[in-house]
Amino acid sequence: MNEDNIKMENVMEKYMKNKYIVIFPDKTTMMFNSLRDIEKYIDVSASTISKKLKNVGRCTCKTKGTDYVYGVVAL
């Protein structure tokens, strides 16, 4: 069994508070609590992400400088 597994409910609750999942260009994923936190990581404005998420709950965003594509899913 992996030692990194969550074994306490209060620790799991911390992870469940996250509101967004971001899929990075290298196919890894990371959870975020706010659009501002995502903005800091992927260099796409929180307002742009918000507008794209508004109707569907998921979107793709491309950075201008690097042309990397990120997927954002609202939980």
Q: Tell me the pLDDT tens digit for each residue of 39-57.
A: 999 999 999 999 999 989 9
Within-domain flag for 43: yes
- Domains of the chain: total: 1
Within-domain flag for 49: yes
Within-domain flag for 7: no
Q: At which residue do the structure tokens 């890894």 appear?
A: 28
Is the pLDDT reported for residue 2 higher than 70? no
Within-domain flag for 14: no
Token digits for 27? 């196919």
Within-domain flag for 4: no
Q: Mean of the pLDDT values across residues 13-17?
A: 82
Q: Which domain holds residue 36?
A: 19-74
Within-domain flag for 32: yes
22-59 burial, b if ≥16 CB within 10 A, otherwise e?
A: bbeeeeeeeebeebebbbeebebeeeebeeebeeeeeb
Token digits for 14? 């911390």
Torsion of CA 48, 40, 37, 12, to 10 degrees: 130
